[in-house]
């Protein structure tokens, strides 16, 4: 897993206007673990400074961009598996009979 983390940049943004936007990396599917919890609504992250930006509800600035909140903590980016969450068992721990 450390090889995958080394491939990811220290800072990455979803906004195409940002200098930290990298479409090639984002196409691989990047996941973020923040303070031990998996986050799905991260707009931007920085590992070395230890922060993420998440959207603040439906709020927009005067240019129509989503308002964001900066949260500080331990940031762990990773490349998501290709098959996603399809292999997760049901809530009771058993696989579905299909």
Domain boundaries of the chain, sorted by first residue: 2-79
**Structure confidence at residue 93 (pLDDT):** 53
**Structure confidence at residue 81 (pLDDT):** 87
CA distances to 3, 19, 35 from 23, in Å: 20, 11, 26
* Span 74-91, pLDDT tens digits: 999 999 987 755 444 444
pLDDT tens, N- to C-terminus, the chain (98 residues): 555 556 899 999 999 999 999 999 999 999 999 999 999 999 999 999 999 999 999 999 999 988 999 999 999 999 998 775 544 444 455 555 55
| C-alpha–C-alpha distance, residues 26 and 1, integer Å | 17
Question: pTM for this structure?
Answer: 0.75
In the chain, what is the greatest distance between 2 CA atoms, to the nearest angstrom? Answer: 51
Give 21's DSSP letter: B
Helix (H) or strand (E) holding 64: none
């Amino acid at each position: 897993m450390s090889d995958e983390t080394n491939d990811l940049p220290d800072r990455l943004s979803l906004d195409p206007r940002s200098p930290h936007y990298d479409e090639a990396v984002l196409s691989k599917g990047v996941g973020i673990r923040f303070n031990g919890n998996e986050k799905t609504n991260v707009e931007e992250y920085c590992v070395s400074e230890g922060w993420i930006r998440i959207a603040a509800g439906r709020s927009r600035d005067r240019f129509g961009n989503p308002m964001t909140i900066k949260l500080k903590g331990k940031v762990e980016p990773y490349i998501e598996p290709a098959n996603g969450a399809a292999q997760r068992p049901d809530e009771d721990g058993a696989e579905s009979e299909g």
